[in-house]
Amino acid sequence: MTTRKPFKAREALGSLFAASPGATPPTDTDPGSPSPADRPLSVSQLSARVVSAIDAAFPERLSVVGEVSRPTTKTHIYFRLKDERSVVEAICYRGDIPKLAMQPREGDKVLVKGRVGYWAEGGRLTLRVDAMEHVGQGSLDAKLRLLKEQLMTRGWLDPAAKRPLPAHPRRIAIVTSRTSAALQDCLVTARQRLPSTEIVVVDVRVQGAGVEHEIAAAIAAVDRAAARMGIDALVLTRGGGSLEDLWCFNEEVVARAIHEARIPIVAAIGHEIDTTLAELVADCRAATPTAAIAALLPDRAALGEELAALADRARVGLAMCVAGRRDALRAVATRPCLVDPAAPIHRQRELLREVARRMQGQATTRVARAVDALAAERARLLRAIPARTALARGAIEALGGRLAAVSPYSVLDRGYVMVHGTTGVLTSAAAMPSGGTVSLVYRDGERRADLHGVGEPSDSPGTRP
C-alpha cells in the first residue's frame, strides 16, 4: 500500500514565491516538530497558507491591462480579464463601483487597478478591482469588425443570397458537440415540435485551437451528402461563452463553408446577445438552439390545427360542389328533351310535314300560274303569226322584185343573149375566142355555136339597137 505524499506549499506555489524575491515562503516543518506525514493540513489551513503566499508574493495594489469578457452586474460586477493566452477572474465590489471611470462592456480594453486575492470559500483566485479606465477596444472585437466589413464587401452577408428554408424538412443535420447542452435543447425541441423529422448529429469540437477547420469540414461533408442522405437543412449551434470561446465561429474558413454550401443553414451560436460571422453568413440566425429548431420545424399542434382547418374547408367545399352539381343535374333532368326524348322528334316531324304541305301548295299554285301564262302567250303568238307572215311575205316579194330588176336574166327577156365560154360569161369582144364552141343563153333556152373565122374586134363599139 502506497502512502500519499503530503502537500508542500513550496513545491505547489513555487512560481508565486519566485515572483517576489523578498517573500519568505511558509515552512512545512519546524525543528523538533513531527514529520509532515504525521501532521496533515485541513483545507482551511491549506487555504490560509495560499492566502499568506499570495499576500507575500504580490504588492498591495497593482495595475493590469486586458480585455473585458462576460461582464455581469448583480450586487457586484463580475467579469473576466483576458489577453491572447490567459484569463483571470475579476470582481468589483459594490462599494468600489462608484469609483470606476466606466462600466465594463464586452470587448473593452481596460486598465484596472486592485489587488490579487484568494476567495477561500469558492477556491478561486480573483483580481479585486477598485479602479478602471478605458484604453481602447479589444483586439478580438476590432478583428471581428474588420472581418465583418470584408465579408460585406464580398457580398456574403447580402440578404438576396440567402437560401429559403424548407417548409417541412424530412431530415436535418445538427453540427455541434454531442456532449453540449445546445444539442440536448435541439433534440428536445425537435421531439416536441415534429417527431417525424429525423435528426442526424454531426459531432465536432466547438471550442479550442484549430476547431474552425473541423467545423468547416463537417459543414462541407454534410452539404456533399445532403442529396444522398435526404438532408433538407443544417443547424450549426453551440451554447454560450466568451468572445474567445466563440471565436472559431468568426473564422473565415467557417464563413466560407457556410457561404458555399447549397443546403440551407440555420446558425445559433452562444447567447442571444452574441453575434458571430457564421450567424451573419448563414441563411437564418436564431437567438438560441431552441429557436433554430423552431425556425425549421413547424409545431405539430399548429400543423394539427392547420390540417383540421384544411379538412373543414375541404368538407365545406366538397358539400358545396356536390350541392351545385346536384342542382345542375336536376335542372338538366327537367329539360323536355330528357323528360320525353321523342317529343322533339315529333315536333320536328310535324314541322317538316307542314313545310312539305306549304311547298306542295306553293308548287301547285306556281305551276297553275305558269300554265295560264303559257296559254296566254300561245294565244298571243297565234294571233301574231298571220300578221307577221303577211308582213314577211310582202317584204320577200319586194326584195324579189328588186332582185329580179337587177338580175341579168331579166335582160334576156328584152332580146339579149349571154355568151359563155370556157372561162365563164364573155363580157368583152376581146375575150371572144377565134374558134371553138360557145354557149348562147337565150330567155327561153341555151344553144351551142361553133366559131369559124371570127374577125378582130373593131375599135368602136357596135351600134346599140
The verdict on residue 305 lying in a domain is no
Domain identity same for 287 and 152:
yes
Asked whether residue 110 carries a pLDDT value surpassing 80, the answer given is: yes
Domain identity same for 294 and 428:
no
Q: 72-94 pLDDT, tens per residue?
A: 988 899 999 998 888 899 999 99
Q: What is the pTM of this model?
A: 0.46
What pLDDT does residue 397 have?
87
CATH of the domain at 58: 2.40.50.140
What pLDDT does residue 12 have?
38
Q: 130-181 pLDDT, tens per residue?
A: 998 877 555 677 778 888 889 999 999 999 889 999 988 999 999 999 999 9
What pLDDT does residue 15 have?
38
| CA dist 106 → 65, 140, 265, 452 (Å) | 15, 10, 27, 171
The verdict on residue 127 lying in a domain is yes
Asked whether residue 280 carries a pLDDT value surpassing 60, the answer given is: yes
Sheet containing 265-269: which strands, arranged edge to edge? 198-203, 171-176, 233-238, 265-269, 284-285
Sheet containing 445-451: which strands, arranged edge to edge? 424-425, 418-421, 436-442, 445-451
Domain identity same for 159 and 291:
yes
- Region 17-29: what's the mean pLDDT? 41
Domain identity same for 100 and 208:
no
List the domain range (segments joined by +) for residue 215.
142-298
Asked whether residue 5 carries a pLDDT value surpassing 50, the answer given is: no
The verdict on residue 416 lying in a domain is yes
The verdict on residue 260 lying in a domain is yes
What pLDDT does residue 234 have?
96
- Region 95-120: what's the mean pLDDT? 86
Domain identity same for 171 and 268:
yes
CATH of the domain at 288: 3.40.50.261
- Region 16-29: what's the mean pLDDT? 41
Domain final position from 85, 111, 137 = 137
Give the mean pLDDT of the chain. 83
Domain identity same for 132 and 152:
no
The verdict on residue 110 lying in a domain is yes
Domain identity same for 122 and 150:
no
| Residue pointed to by grid coordinates 453540427 | 175
Domain identity same for 23 and 168:
no
Q: How confident is the model at residue 10 (pLDDT cuts 50, 70, 90)?
A: very low
The verdict on residue 229 lying in a domain is yes
Closest CA to 241 of 274, 282, 194, 201: 274
Structural domains counted in the chain: 3
Q: 243-272 pLDDT, tens per residue?
A: 778 889 999 999 999 999 999 999 999 877
Domain identity same for 49 and 68:
yes
Domain identity same for 290 and 236:
yes
Alpha-carbon distance of 436 to 450, in angstroms, equals: 6
Domain final position from 298, 326, 351 = 298
Residues 6+ apart with CB under 8 A from 58: 19, 20, 115, 116
254 in Cβ contact with 219 (< 8 Å)? yes
What pLDDT does residue 23 have?
39
Q: Do β-strands 445-451 and 62-73 pair in parallel, antiparallel, or remain unpaired?
A: unpaired
Domain final position from 137, 157, 184 = 137
Among residues of the chain, what percentage have pLDDT more than 70? 88
What pLDDT does residue 278 have?
93
Asked whether residue 1 carries a pLDDT value surpassing 60, the answer given is: no
> At 154, which amino acid appears?
R
> At 11, which amino acid appears?
E
Who has greater pLDDT, 414 or 65? 65
The verdict on residue 63 lying in a domain is yes
Domain identity same for 243 and 198:
yes
End-to-end CA distance of the chain: 204
Who has greater pLDDT, 403 or 273? 403
The verdict on residue 90 lying in a domain is yes
Domain identity same for 220 and 111:
no
